[in-house]
């Protein structure tokens, strides 16, 4: 059955799905992360904080599954990436994990006691649970673009030389982290503008006025840095696109300007950075004109543009090695077997539409805004 | 015994975080169905007390669910962070059920759990009931796919080694999904979850009855818990997962270790009720045996022979020697990918390649192993007999205790008479027991799998990431501190809400604070 679709086509599909899942996570759970990171700034009193928290309270749990599914799909479709990335970013991922663990318990525990110090503690926990993952995921992308210090031995075991947490926090890594943080907080602020009433909404809109243009500026700066300051990677021998997934069977090298090569070869790919630059500006304008719904959609498009830019710039590379470029992991040699990719494709085509359908149903059921009066009236059935 | 190397530390971290995660999972599995049952009664009878029961038990469910979700992410991430070579080596097979779990089950459970809590006023009665059922079904489907993944670690079917990619690859998704070990595990594990939910409900209700509070609420909860609990307790024991222990060599080894059965017995083997296993001399002291019982339980027949540990070690040694042929062929193939003879030899002996890898614990190149090292590696295939023997016996004893407890509770439910202080006290103090049984069950299954992470395919020590001891020690310490604090908070909140009781916890206006600045 697995010969129904060619191996290289399956690999391309799964490269696209990888993008879809990352964008799905950033768009859907991104606004939850953004709201949490903005919590101390857009909401000052307990009632205001509960307005912000309850705007995402019923949906964040489902949204978080985009992360779980993203990791699971990388494990299933790109096991080499899963192995190399998760072990390489060891301490950084522990920080993400620790703060992500604070999130469910923060939401659930905060309202269980009325003590203001108890609530203030969980407010800080929720703040950290939004800030740290938003930042670290960006830092990870920044480091992928620069290449990561690993080698692969004959048994295909990945070993790192350096690459600890502080090395990840290099200038470009930090810039990418900031792009991610400002992008997700702006997205979260637009969600608050759409779903809340009162002062939380006002402050959220004020944040968008600054956040959206800053994000565009940072993204443009990162783009210029990649174009002129960061050498990319290129295959030095044509890849066997339907060959076995063994990274050691190819040759690659580090080359200045290589991350721009795809835009010359396939000019339509410029659409990704263009959307990444223009959509947030559209969101900014729409928000100023008090059209939060379309602004939120524009912001989601912007996120897709930014993540898409990283993807097409690096293609076919997924995780370059700066110690041994030929050991880099690419679309053509880091995937699962043809059989597994096919089975996973069938599973995705069956279940993803169902997921999207009931996610739509959940959001429709919960439509409308949440006001300070709502949270004061329903102290018991809300967070 | 414990060394501060990345393998030991990573094993400790994985074991601890898994045991911790598994404190919350069984209660989620059990309570979600109990909530769905109670709400069904509400929708059918229209009596508000059943809605309040659903809401109150739902509050306790919510606290527990949050902890389950939070600690579950750790489990998924750890395969990549700490077991990177494992992830590379078997991700092609093992990753698929994990991804499908997210796609098919966890999305369902998590998307609707928000509506369960927040949707009471936004959905019709039947609409909300449907949501509750979807949460229960989602959490149970979640268990199914996780246990398909785990079942494959115990009995790796439908996969083959590919020398070009240096890893195992999927040959049959069908075999992976319908792995008999996974199916047995699924039924056993979810039933254990239902028992946990039922004992929890029985115990909390007994507390109210002893205190003379919330009587109508507590009695109804008791009836639901005892009926659901009795069916589940019978299911756990009758559909225990020993039936999976006869399908592969190592599962047989695990069974022999659990039974401290050193020598092969004539069929049907006896069940050792009590013994003091003596690992040194490979024998037992003070043995008390029930004739025939083990053979019947494990093989469902009177004539299938169950091999003892000593015979299985001999078999393991044969497999190591055969695996060395595969290993040698693989090395030749890696030197020259065009070597057709090496490729054919490897394919013929690939089933035992994993056994040759056991030698890597002692030598970088297994082909240089002498007879003594091979014998040592063969003995490594025996998991720790003492801990397995006793864990299993305590778990089984608890299983029978639950049947008794629920039988009495059910009989009292039928007579609508719970006024028996001793019975209520036993119910109350039984609260921790299902957790003890569940954790022991996990321990027997996973510790009994050692020295393999994938039975016969990949030894545990080879699966580890190239991380330093310092890094793992840092995260291990972090998890211990962090998880301990969370456990304290969780127990405090649970106690507080249980003591508060349904009337207080569901009162509108509860939990309000005056709108003062939060700082």
Residue B277, SS3?
strand
Instruction: Judge if the upstream peptide bond of residue B451 is cis by omega within 30 degrees of 0.
Output: yes
CB distance from B141 to chain A under 8 Å?
no
Amino acid B246: pLDDT:
59
Question: Which of A74, A76, A380 is opposite residue B506, by nearest beta carbon?
Answer: A380
3-state secondary structure chain A: CCCCCCHHHHHHHHHHHHHHHHHHHHHHHHHHHHHHHHHHHHCCEHHHHHHHHHHHCCCHHHHHHHHHHHHHHHHHHCHHHHHHHHHHCHHHHHHHHHHHHHHHHHHHHHCCCCCHHHHHHHHHHHHHHHHHHHHHHHHHHHHHHHCECEEECCCCCEEECCCCHHHHCCHHHHHHHHHHHHHHHHHHHHHHHHHECCHHHHHHHHHHHHHHHHHHHHHHHHHHHHHHHCCEEEECCCCCCCCCCCHHHCCEEEECCHHHHHHHHCHHHHHHHHHHHHHHHHHHHHHHCCCHHHHHHHHHHHHHHHHHHHHHHHCCEEECECCCHHHCEECCCCCCCHHHHHHHHHHHHHHHHHHHHHHHHHHHHCCCCECHHHHHHCCCCCC
Which ipTM did the prediction report?
A: 0.92
CA nearest to B117, candidates B187, B45, B185, B60: B60
B459 DSSP β-pair partners: B452
Question: Which of A57, A83, A347 is opposite residue B87, by nearest beta carbon?
Answer: A83
A90·B102 Cβ contact <8 A: no
Amino acid B512: pLDDT:
41
pLDDT cut 90: percent of chain A above it: 84
In a domain, A383, yes or no: no
Residue B311, SS3?
helix
Question: Which of A83, A102, A158 is opposite residue B91, by nearest beta carbon?
Answer: A83
In a domain, A37, yes or no: yes
Domains: count for chain A: 1
Residues A66-113: pLDDT tens digits?
A: 999 999 999 999 999 999 999 999 999 999 999 999 998 888 888 888
CB distance from B478 to chain A under 8 Å?
yes
Chain A residues with beta carbon closer than 8 angstroms to that of B461:
none
B515·A47 Cβ contact <8 A: yes
Distance between B98 CA and the closest CA of chain A, angstroms: 6
Q: Span A269-291, mean pLDDT?
A: 95
Whether A270 shows a pLDDT value over 90: the answer reads: yes
CA nearest to A61, candidates B36, B139, B70: B70
Whether B511 shows a pLDDT value over 50: the answer reads: no
Amino acid B515: pLDDT:
37
d(CA B215, CA A317): 65
Chain A residues with beta carbon closer than 8 angstroms to that of B120:
381
d(CA B508, CA B493): 19
Distance between A283 CA and the closest CA of chain B, angstroms: 27
Distance between B278 CA and the closest CA of chain A, angstroms: 39
User: Are B327 and B350 a contacting pair, CB within 8 Å?
Assistant: no
B107·A244 Cβ contact <8 A: no
d(CA B412, CA B393): 29
A344·B96 Cβ contact <8 A: yes
Residue B448, SS3?
coil
Long-range residue pairs from B482-491, CB within 8 A, at least 24 positions apart, any chain: B482/A98, B482/A101, B483/B16, B483/B17, B483/B20, B483/B71, B486/A101, B486/A105, B486/B67, B486/B70, B487/B20, B487/B23, B489/A105, B489/A109, B490/A105, B490/B63, B490/B64, B490/B67
Provide the 10 A C-beta neighbour count for residue B141: 17
pLDDT tier, B248 (very low <50, low <70, confident <90, very high otherwise): low
Q: Which two tokens stand for residue A356?
A: 């999207």
Q: Which two tokens stand for residue A32?
A: 């939850």
Whether B419 shows a pLDDT value over 90: the answer reads: no
Amino acid B330: pLDDT:
94
> Number of C-alpha atoms within 13 angstroms, CB side, residue A285?
5
Distance between A45 CA and the closest CA of chain B, angstroms: 4
Sorted by sequence, the CB contacts under 8 Å of residue A43 that are 6+ apart come out as: A49, A51, A52, A200, A203
Whether B288 shows a pLDDT value over 90: the answer reads: no
Question: Which of A91, A100, A246 is opposite residue B166, by nearest beta carbon?
Answer: A246
Lowest-pLDDT range, A316-330, B50-64, B296-310, B499-513? B499-513
In a domain, A365, yes or no: yes
Reduced DSSP (H G I as helix, E B as strand, rest coil) percent helix, strand, coil of chain B, to 5: 75, 5, 20
Q: How would you label B436-459 residue by residue, b for 16+ Cβ within 10 Å and e otherwise?
A: ebbbbbbbbbbbbbbebbbbbbbb
Q: Span A321-341, mean pLDDT?
A: 95
Average pLDDT of every residue of chain A: 92
A73: containing domain = 7-377
Amino acid A131: pLDDT:
96
Amino acid A222: pLDDT:
96
Task: Using DSSP bridges, classify how beta strands A158-160 and A150-152 pair: parallel, antiparallel or unpaired.
Answer: antiparallel
Distance between A179 CA and the closest CA of chain B, angstroms: 24
Amino acid A114: pLDDT:
85
Lowest-pLDDT range, B20-34, B234-248, B257-271, B453-467? B234-248
A370 DSSP β-pair partners: A196
Sorted by sequence, the CB contacts under 8 Å of residue A220 that are 6+ apart come out as: A277
Whether B240 shows a pLDDT value over 90: the answer reads: no
Average pLDDT of every residue of chain B: 89
Amino acid B109: pLDDT:
94
Residues B146-178: pLDDT tens digits?
A: 999 999 999 999 999 999 999 999 999 999 999
Q: Give me the residue label for tokens 């919590």.
A: A39
What is chain A's alpha carbon radius of gyration, rounded to the nearest angstrom? 21
User: Are B196 and B30 a contacting pair, CB within 8 Å?
Assistant: yes
d(CA A101, CA A158): 28
Amino acid B242: pLDDT:
59
Amino acid A57: pLDDT:
87
Q: Span B284-305, mean pLDDT?
A: 74
Amino acid A218: pLDDT:
97
CB distance from A76 to chain B under 8 Å?
yes
In a domain, A382, yes or no: no
Amino acid B97: pLDDT:
96
pLDDT tier, A55 (very low <50, low <70, confident <90, very high otherwise): very high
User: Are B202 and B211 a contacting pair, CB within 8 Å?
Assistant: no
CA nearest to B250, candidates B406, B451, B504: B451
CB distance from A97 to chain B under 8 Å?
yes
Q: Span A341-367, mean pLDDT?
A: 94
In a domain, A372, yes or no: yes
Chain B residues with beta carbon closer than 8 angstroms to that of A105:
66-67, 70, 486, 489-490
User: Are A247 and A327 a contacting pair, CB within 8 Å?
Assistant: yes
Amino acid A381: pLDDT:
63
Residue B419, SS3?
coil
A340·B513 Cβ contact <8 A: no
Q: Span B324-333, mean pLDDT?
A: 94
pLDDT tier, B517 (very low <50, low <70, confident <90, very high otherwise): very low
Long-range residue pairs from B368-374, CB within 8 A, at least 24 positions apart, any chain: B369/B324, B374/B317, B374/B320, B374/B321
d(CA A199, CA A185): 17
pLDDT tier, B516 (very low <50, low <70, confident <90, very high otherwise): very low
Residues B373-396: pLDDT tens digits?
A: 999 999 999 999 989 999 998 998
Dihedral of alpha carbons A133, A139, A144, A149, sign: negative
Q: Which two tokens stand for residue B233?
A: 């307790």
d(CA B244, CA B452): 17
End-to-end CA distance of chain A: 49
Q: Which two tokens stand for residue A99?
A: 């703060």
Whether B313 shows a pLDDT value over 60: the answer reads: yes
B104·A347 Cβ contact <8 A: yes
Lowest-pLDDT range, A240-244, B85-89, B115-119, B506-510? B506-510
Chain B residues with beta carbon closer than 8 angstroms to that of A90:
81, 465, 467, 471, 475
Among A325-329, B213-217, B513-517, the range with the most confident prediction by mean pLDDT is A325-329
B107·A105 Cβ contact <8 A: no
CA nearest to B24, candidates B438, B399, B394: B438
d(CA A157, CA B88): 8
What does the DSSP 8-state code read for residue B101? Answer: I
Q: Which two tokens stand for residue B145?
A: 């796919």
Amino acid B367: pLDDT:
92
Lowest-pLDDT range, A280-294, A359-373, B135-149, B452-466? A359-373
Chain A residues with beta carbon closer than 8 angstroms to that of B66:
104-105, 107-109
Lowest-pLDDT range, A171-175, A305-309, B284-288, B319-323? B284-288
Distance between A228 CA and the closest CA of chain B, angstroms: 33
Question: Which of B102, B166, B509 is opposite residue A65, by nearest beta carbon?
Answer: B102
Whether B513 shows a pLDDT value over 80: the answer reads: no
Task: Using DSSP bridges, classify how beta strands A252-255 and A317-319 pair: parallel, antiparallel or unpaired.
Answer: unpaired
User: Are B462 and B85 a contacting pair, CB within 8 Å?
Assistant: yes
Whether B356 shows a pLDDT value over 50: the answer reads: yes
A380·B71 Cβ contact <8 A: no
> Number of C-alpha atoms within 13 angstroms, CB side, residue A109?
29
User: Are B232 and B201 a contacting pair, CB within 8 Å?
Assistant: no
Whether A1 shows a pLDDT value over 60: the answer reads: no
A358·B84 Cβ contact <8 A: no
d(CA B323, CA B360): 12
Distance between A351 CA and the closest CA of chain B, angstroms: 6
B160 DSSP β-pair partners: B169
CA nearest to A222, candidates A175, A262, A254, A177: A175
Nearest CA in chain A to B116: A58
Question: Which of B70, B76, B91 is opposite residue A104, by nearest beta carbon?
Answer: B70
CB distance from B66 to chain A under 8 Å?
yes
Whether B519 shows a pLDDT value over 60: the answer reads: no
A109·B493 Cβ contact <8 A: yes
CB distance from A363 to chain B under 8 Å?
no
Whether B241 shows a pLDDT value over 70: the answer reads: no
**φ, ψ (nearest 5 deg) of residue B334:** -65, -30
In a domain, A278, yes or no: yes
Taking a contact as any Cβ pair under 8 Å apart, which residues of chain B between 165 and 194 contact chain A? 165-167, 169-171, 173
What does the DSSP 8-state code read for residue B171? Answer: S
Q: Span A192-198, mean pLDDT?
A: 93
Amino acid B349: pLDDT:
94
Question: Which of B93, B110, B509 is opposite residue A64, by nearest beta carbon?
Answer: B110
């Amino acid at each position: 059955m697995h010969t129904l679709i060619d191996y290289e086509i399956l690999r391309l599909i799964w490269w696209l799905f990888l993008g879809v899942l990352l964008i799905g996570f950033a768009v859907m759970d991104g606004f939850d992360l953004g709201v949490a990171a903005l919590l101390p700034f857009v909401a000052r009193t307990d009632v205001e904080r509960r307005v912000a928290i309850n705007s995402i309270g019923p949906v964040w749990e489902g949204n978080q599954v985009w992360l779980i599914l993203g990791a699971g799909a990388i494990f299933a479709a790109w096991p080499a990436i899963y192995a190399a990335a998760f072990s390489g970013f060891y301490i950084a991922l522990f920080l993400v994990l620790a703060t992500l663990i604070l999130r469910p318990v923060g939401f659930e525990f905060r309202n269980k006691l009325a003590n203001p110090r108890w609530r203030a503690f969980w407010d800080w926990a929720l703040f950290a649970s939004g800030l740290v993952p938003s930042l670290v995921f960006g830092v990870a992308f920044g480091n992928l673009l620069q290449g990561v210090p690993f080698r692969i031995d004959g048994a295909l075991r990945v070993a790192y030389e350096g690459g600890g947490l502080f090395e990840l926090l290099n200038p470009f890594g930090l810039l990418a982290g900031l792009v991610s943080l400002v992008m997700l907080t702006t997205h979260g602020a637009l969600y608050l503008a759409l779903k809340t009433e009162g002062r939380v909404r006002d402050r959220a809109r004020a944040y968008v006025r600054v956040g959206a243009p800053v994000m565009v500026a940072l993204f443009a700066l990162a783009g210029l840095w990649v174009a002129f300051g960061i050498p990319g990677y290129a295959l030095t021998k044509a890849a066997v696109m339907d060959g076995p997934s063994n990274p050691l069977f190819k040759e690659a090298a580090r080359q200045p300007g290589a991350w721009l090569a795809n835009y010359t070869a396939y000019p339509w790919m410029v659409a990704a950075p263009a959307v990444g630059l223009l959509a947030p500006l559209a969101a900014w304008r729409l928000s100023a004109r008090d059209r939060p719904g379309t602004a939120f959609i524009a912001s989601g498009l912007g996120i897709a543009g930014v993540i898409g830019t990283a993807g097409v710039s690096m293609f076919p590379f997924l995780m370059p090695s700066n110690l041994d470029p030929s050991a880099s992991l690419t679309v053509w040699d880091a995937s699962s077997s043809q059989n597994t990719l096919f089975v996973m494709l069938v599973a995705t085509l069956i279940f993803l539409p169902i997921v999207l359908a009931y996610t739509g149903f959940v959001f429709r059921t919960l439509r409308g805004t949440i006001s300070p009066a709502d949270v004061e009236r329903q102290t018991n059935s809300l967070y | 015994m414990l060394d501060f190397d990345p393998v030991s530390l990573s094993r400790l971290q994985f074991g601890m975080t898994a045991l911790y995660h598994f404190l919350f999972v069984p209660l989620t599995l059990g309570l979600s169905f109990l909530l769905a049952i109670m709400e069904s009664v509400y929708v059918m009878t229209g009596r508000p007390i059943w809605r309040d029961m659903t809401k109150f038990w739902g509050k306790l469910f919510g606290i527990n669910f949050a902890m389950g979700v939070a600690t579950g992410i750790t489990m998924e991430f750890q395969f990549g962070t700490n077991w990177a070579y494992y992830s590379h080596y078997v991700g092609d097979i093992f990753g698929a059920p994990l991804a499908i779990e997210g796609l098919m089950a966890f999305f369902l459970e998590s998307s609707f759990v928000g509506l369960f809590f927040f949707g009471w006023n936004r959905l019709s009665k039947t609409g909300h009931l449907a949501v509750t059922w979807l949460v229960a079904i989602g959490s149970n489907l979640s268990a199914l796919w996780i246990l398909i993944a785990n079942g494959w670690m115990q009995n790796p079917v439908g996969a083959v080694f590919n020398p070009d990619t240096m890893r195992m690859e999927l040959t049959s998704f069908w075999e992976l999904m319908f792995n008999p070990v996974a199916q047995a595990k699924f039924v056993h594990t979810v039933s254990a979850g239902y028992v946990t939910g039922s004992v929890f409900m029985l115990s909390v209700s007994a507390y109210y009855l002893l205190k003379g509070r919330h009587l109508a609420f507590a009695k109804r909860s008791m009836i639901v818990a005892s009926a659901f609990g009795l069916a589940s307790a019978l299911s756990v024991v009758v559909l225990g997962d020993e039936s999976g222990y006869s399908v592969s060599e190592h599962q047989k080894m695990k069974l022999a270790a659990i039974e401290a059965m050193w020598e092969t017995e004539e069929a049907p083997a006896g069940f050792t009720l009590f013994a003091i296993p003596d690992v040194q001399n490979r024998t037992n002291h003070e043995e008390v045996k029930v004739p025939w019982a083990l053979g019947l339980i494990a093989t469902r027949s009177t004539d299938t022979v169950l091999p003892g540990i000593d015979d299985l070690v001999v078999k393991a040694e044969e497999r190591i020697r055969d695996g060395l042929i595969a290993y040698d062929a693989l090395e030749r193939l890696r030197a020259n990918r065009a070597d057709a003879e090496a490729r054919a030899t490897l394919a013929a002996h690939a089933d035992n390649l994993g056994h040759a890898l056991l030698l890597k614990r002692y030598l970088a190149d297994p082909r240089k192993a002498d007879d003594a090292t091979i014998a040592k590696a063969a003995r490594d295939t025996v998991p720790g007999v003492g801990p397995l023997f006793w864990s299993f016996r305590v778990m089984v004893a608890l299983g029978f205790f639950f049947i008794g407890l629920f039988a009495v509770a059910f009989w009292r439910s039928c007579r609508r008479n719970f006024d028996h202080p001793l019975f209520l006290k036993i119910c109350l103090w039984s609260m921790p027991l299902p957790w003890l049984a569940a954790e022991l069950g996990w321990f027997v299954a996973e510790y009994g799998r050692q020295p393999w992470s994938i039975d016969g395919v990949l030894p545990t020590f080879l699966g580890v990431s190239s991380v330093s001891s310092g890094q793992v020690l840092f995260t291990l310490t972090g998890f211990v501190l962090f998880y301990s604090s969370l456990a304290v908070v969780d127990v405090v909140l649970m106690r507080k809400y249980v003591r508060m009781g349904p009337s207080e916890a569901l009162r509108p206006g509860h939990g309000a604070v005056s709108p003062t600045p939060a700082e």
